[in-house]
Amino acid sequence: MEIVRPQSHRNLFSSNDAVSVPSLPLYRSAPPLEVRLEDFESFAIDRLRVLKGISDGLSRGKKPEEMEKLVKELWKVNMRHQHASEVLNKDIISHFVLRLVYCRTEDLRKWFLSMECALFRYRFRFLTPEAQRAVMDNFDLTCRAVNNVEFESIKEKLGQVARSMGQPSPTVDAIFYKVPFEEVPELVAGRKVFISQGYAYVAMNQVVSLVATLFRSQLSKTLILTNRVAINCCRKWTSSIREQEKHRLTPIVEALSSSYLGPDFSQPREYAEISLKDIDQVAKSSFPLCMRHLFDKLKEDHHLKHGGRMQLGLFLKGVGLNLEDALAFWRAEFSKKVGLEKFEKDYSYNIRHNYGKEGKRTDYTPYSCQKIISSTPGAGDQHGCPYRHFSEENLRAALSRMGVNSRAMEDVMDKVRNRHYQLACTLTFEALHGMTCDAGINHPNQYFSDSQKILQPKKDSSAQNLVTARE
């Protein structure tokens, strides 16, 4: 890909036969196109809007059908082009620009990878069967269809799997693909396929997840490669571009990559320095349910398992509890149960570790809602998202302890039943604070700071800053 000045714009694809170009590109190699500088940026920003929209949708717990609608809409609005022939170019160019931008760190790669894959997945669904088959051919899938003899021998098992998901048993003309189980981790994890001797039998209607995985591993490899090729990327990749463009592109790329995801709450913001004596009081007034629950359990049992310690500990760090106070806080509770010596021996390390004072000295960031919702607490664990992981009965009890009235409670439970856990939390917030929360709750520390903002209205001006920072 070559970046050129506007006047020399030329389109290589337009000379190609339009039919031969797949409508869903696999982005296997950078296109031999010349790109106008303003397109370089504007295409990338348009695609970024799509990816951010997907990210927001997912973190709000939208259901697959809703996501499908959302993606269709996002794509239509952002990725159109006044010339129909340019649409595909825009798709490809924007992808490669963002790939350059997002290959630079592990976190950026991870985010980009999962959003691109989500996008790919939905776009694959929108394709006609013929177009789908073309994509599958590209991944050499068609030759791995199960033949009739084999189908007969495992028909019963395939039927069992289908019925376990509430679908009818497959008929004779159903097509199954036999692939190494490693290629369909998502289907394996959900026990949605029959697995035998290392092979998973993927039904035609599940092919999307197979294709998505193949796409993902291809993209993941090239992302790392992109980064390696451009060692210390943020400076060096530009050397592959004409010298005179360097100063114009570098800021674009850097601005693009920082405009993702929102704040990570690793540094406590305007209400920094919560002191130990206030903590009981703010826990009551401003902790979201997940943290309030952990906090109460800790006070009650003087103990939390690892997952709970991490979730609450990092949250408290984000709230502004400094290391000394954090140690004092955990020590006070744990020593009641395990004794002081055991606490110093076994637990204090972990707390210092969270604050980046031990081990590889990473300053860990507080968990976001998405991370908490997707955690898998087991027996004896108290962490996780109460809206997702509590039984209805326990959740109701917990909410009423918090002071949620019965009318609001029903609204909250309604969201929970529809698996909108963050919306349920948002409604709880609104019920308790008597104010609307338009941004929605995306992070426990955001819940906390929004709550403090309402409860301590004097600090209005700095609160304003936070809102703009999040936008």
Partner 1 sequence: MDFQVGIVSEGVEDVSVISDCVMVGIFSKLEWEETDWPQGLDIQGEIFFLSSCHHTCTSSLYSFFIHFSSCKSSSIFIQMIPQQESDFDHNYLKPYYGKLFPFADIFKWMTYGHDGKHPGCDQSYFGRREFSFTLKGDFYLRFQSFNNALELENSIKEKCPLKIDIGPVYTVDPAKRHAYAQGDNNVFAPVERELIFDIDMTDYDDVRYCCRGADVCLNCWPLMTIAIKVIDTSLRDDFGFKHILWVYSGRRGVHCWVCDGKARRLTNEQRASIADYYRVYKGNENSHKKVSLMGAALHPFLATSYTNVLKDYFEKILLTSQNLLATEERYEKILSMIPDESIASELRGKWQDSRRSSSAKEDINVVRWEQCKQLLQSGKHKAQGLRRCVEEIVFFFTYPRLDMEVSKHMNHLLKAPFCVHPKTGRVCVPIDPNQCDEFDPTTVPTLFQLLEELNNEGLRADVNGEWNGTSLGNAITLFRSSFLEPLQKACKEEIERSYNLKLQQSKNSVGW
Q: Which residues bind partner 1 (CB under 8 A)?
A: 105, 157, 159-161, 163-166, 181-182, 185-186, 188-191, 194-199, 227-228, 231-232, 293, 303, 337-339, 341-342, 345, 376-384, 386, 389-391, 393-395, 398
Q: What are phi and psi of 462, to 5 degrees?
A: -70, -30
Cβ nearer to partner 1, comparing 391 with 461:
391
Cβ nearer to partner 1, comparing 382 with 426:
382
CB 174 within 8 A of CB 150: no
d(CA 329, CA 398): 23
Q: Would you call 152 exposed, middle or buried from its count of C-beta atoms within 10 A (0-12, 13-18, 19+)?
A: exposed
Cβ nearer to partner 1, comparing 129 with 198:
198
CB 147 within 8 A of CB 136: no
Q: For 320-328, which contacts have Cβ atoms below 8 Å and span 24 or more sequence positions?
A: 320/268, 320/271, 320/272, 320/273, 320/274, 321/274, 321/276, 321/279, 322/273, 323/351, 323/352, 323/355, 323/357, 325/275, 325/276, 326/351, 326/354, 326/355, 327/351, 327/352, 328/276
Nearest to 273 by CA among 345, 326, 335: 326
Token code pair at residue 125? 């669904």
**Shortest CB 197 distance to partner 1, Å:** 4
Cβ nearer to partner 1, comparing 31 with 384:
384
**Shortest CB 57 distance to partner 1, Å:** 22
Cβ nearer to partner 1, comparing 148 with 391:
391
The answer to whether the annotation marks 117 as part of a ligand binding site is no
**Shortest CB 132 distance to partner 1, Å:** 24
d(CA 357, CA 313): 14
Cβ nearer to partner 1, comparing 9 with 235:
235
* 199-203 sheet: strands from edge to edge: 176-180, 199-203, 194-196
Cβ nearer to partner 1, comparing 78 with 382:
382
The answer to whether the annotation marks 143 as part of a ligand binding site is no
* Residue where the block lists tokens 């927001």: 56
**Shortest CB 381 distance to partner 1, Å:** 4
**Shortest CB 161 distance to partner 1, Å:** 6
Nearest-Å Rg of the Cα atoms of the chain is 26
**Shortest CB 324 distance to partner 1, Å:** 23
CB 26 within 8 A of CB 135: yes
CB 6 within 8 A of CB 36: yes
Please give the annotated binding residues for [4Fe-4S] cluster, written as ranges. 290, 369, 385, 425
User: From the annotation, which residues make up the binding site?
Assistant: 290, 369, 385, 425
